[in-house]
Amino acid sequence: MAAKKKGGGLVSSAGLVTYYDSEDKRGVHFSPKTVLIVTAIIGLLVAGVDIAYRMNLI
């Protein structure tokens, strides 16, 4: 008779791995909205500098 293994854990069969969510309270956390806004602002600044460079303003 084969014994059954109980309980979940790390499954690494055929390259499949189960990852568990772990919140690190010590790290810096940003909301997704903040990341999108900052990214949009940086993109607009880069586009503005590119346009200014092409118009020989810089």
Reported in sequence order, the residue ranges of 1-58 that DSSP labels E, i.e. its strands, are none
Whole-number pLDDT of residue 37: 98
Per-domain boundaries in the chain: 30-58
Whole-number pLDDT of residue 19: 64
Is this prediction's pTM over 0.85? no
Phi-psi region of 19 (alpha: psi -120 to 50; beta: other; left: phi over 0): beta
C-beta of residue 18 within 8 angstroms of C-beta of residue 10: yes
Ranges of residues in the chain whose predicted pLDDT is under 70: 1-24
Whole-number pLDDT of residue 29: 87
